[in-house]
Amino acid sequence: MDPLKALADAERKPYWLDSPAKPEPLPRLFGNTTADLAVVGGGFSGLWTALMAKERDPSLDVVLLEGRRIGWAASGRNGGFAMATLTHGIANGLERWPEEISTLERLGVTNLDEIGEAVARYDIDCGYERTGELHVATEPWQLEAMSEHAEITHELGVRFDILDQEQIRAEVNSPTYIGGQWERDGCAMLDPARLAWGLRQACLSLGVRIYERTPVRAMKDSQVSMDLLTPNGTVKAGKVALGTGVFQPLLRRLKHFLVPVYDYALMTEPLSAEQMDAVGWHNRQGVGDSANQFHYYRLTDDNRILWGGYDAVYYNGGKIKPEYEQRDETFVKLAEHFSVTFPQLSELRFTHKWGGVIDTCSRFSAFYGQAHGGRLAYAAGYTGMGVGATRFGANVMLDLLSGERTERTELRMVQEKPVPFPPEPVRSAGIQMTRWSIAQADLHQGRRNLWLRTLDRMGLGFDS
């Protein structure tokens, strides 16, 4: 495959959002209004919060404010892997909250079950398939880590089936695979944009008022209400839930814990029947390889292959800019890696290429909190695994706003904050050093250098 030729006709837009199913925009907010609960952000975090607030109490007056369009940011640009893990994988959870890992795994599986139930209940056409995920090894050192991981997961009652080279290639046929694991129950594949649009419709059906193209410019605490100021009106709310991810936070303290990391992806044209026969993939699992700089890939409804990951890019200074959503250097690299993984698909072309920004925190998994005397709650820092975990985070925010002590709010994971990132320019220097070190680890059998080992001891990390 010539990567430049394969990319020549690819459109510079997210595949999922380039769909005839995309609904017309809802009206902007004009004038002033009130609400019992105002939700800021129209991605998965905000949508699940608004929906479940109405499910808990149908009499609640709920308003959702979205600065652009529902699902336009990370929620509409990701790989569509809805994972059960709430901790960015069992290994990360064990390292940080070992005494809670069994509970966290149980809550995560329940959360994923309930996502599937909500998709069915609201008749959301998002291609939901509970296929699980293949974790593939392409180097011997990755197999060694998998063996230890399998023992731990077995003790926790999580199903990770060990596959040898022949078995893994029988699932998905790539000459690069030397073994792997099939996480049977912990992942569902879906179309993330159609899920967001379906959740939008579900919210509307329950009476949530949604205003698109209505950015919140400022927030004021009048003691009587939380006042959200938009370009053409104000919402006076009893309580506020923030689901704005990595974008300019209305709560200043959040900026110390979040950095914007850009992730990139390609989408192929649909595979022919012959090409599908050549690659196998009959069980339609999501796939992730096991390097530090990893790829993720999956099939769509019409048998395209989404191929993303590897480069996790932090632009010095931590700016978020539209031009960062396109990075030709990364697209060429991804196309080259695709051709190595699937040489039998050498004639395949890419139709879309895009990027998106991820809300990354130093512990790799979401953190939660309150402000303004408990009248505001937030969840952020999903670090690339928010398709499933945002629903759990929405429940945490609603629990916190209600003042209830629940199994969720009593978790140490929920009560603790990640280690903050240092200020610029130290932040940029440290992140770029970490990116270089991660790449070096992949070149040296996964061995982590002194810098990475020091960060591990400090509880700091960088991931996508």
Per-domain boundaries in the chain: 425-458
Number of alpha carbons in the 13 Å side-chain half-sphere of residue 311:
24
Residue 462's pLDDT is 57
Nearest to 421 by CA among 432, 413, 411: 432
DSSP-based three-state secondary structure for 31: coil
- The answer to whether 356 and 78 have CB atoms below 8 angstroms apart is yes
Residue (of 395, 430, 428) closest to 44 by Cα position: 395
Residue 227 sits at φ, ψ, to 5 deg, of -100, 120
Mean pLDDT per 10-residue run, the chain (464 residues)?
94 98 98 98 98 98 98 98 96 94 96 98 98 96 85 85 96 98 95 98 98 98 96 98 93 94 98 98 97 94 97 94 97 98 97 97 96 97 96 98 97 96 92 88 86 81 56
Determine the angle formed by the axes of helices 192-205 and 101-121, rounding to 10 degrees. Answer: 70
pLDDT (0 to 100) of residue 27? 98
C-alpha–C-alpha distance, residues 195 and 415, integer Å? 29
In terms of Cα–Cα distance, which of 255, 380, 248 is closest to 321? 248
Distance CA 385, CA 397 (A): 18
In this predicted structure, what is the pLDDT of residue 461?
62
Residue 151's pLDDT is 83
Is 149 in contact with 162 (CB distance < 8 Å)?
no
**CA-based angle 65:120:206, to the nearest 5?**
35
357, 307, 313: which is closest to 336 by C-alpha? Answer: 307
Rounded to 10°, the helix 44-56/192-205 angle is: 30
Q: Detail the DSSP E strand segments found in 70-204.
A: 81-83, 133-137, 160-163, 179-183, 187-189
The CA-atom distances, in angstroms, between 356 and each of 98, 164, 246, 428 are 32, 35, 11, 19
**What is the model's pLDDT at position 144?**
85
What is the 3-state composition of the chain as percent helix, strand, coil, each rounded to the nearest 5? 35, 20, 40
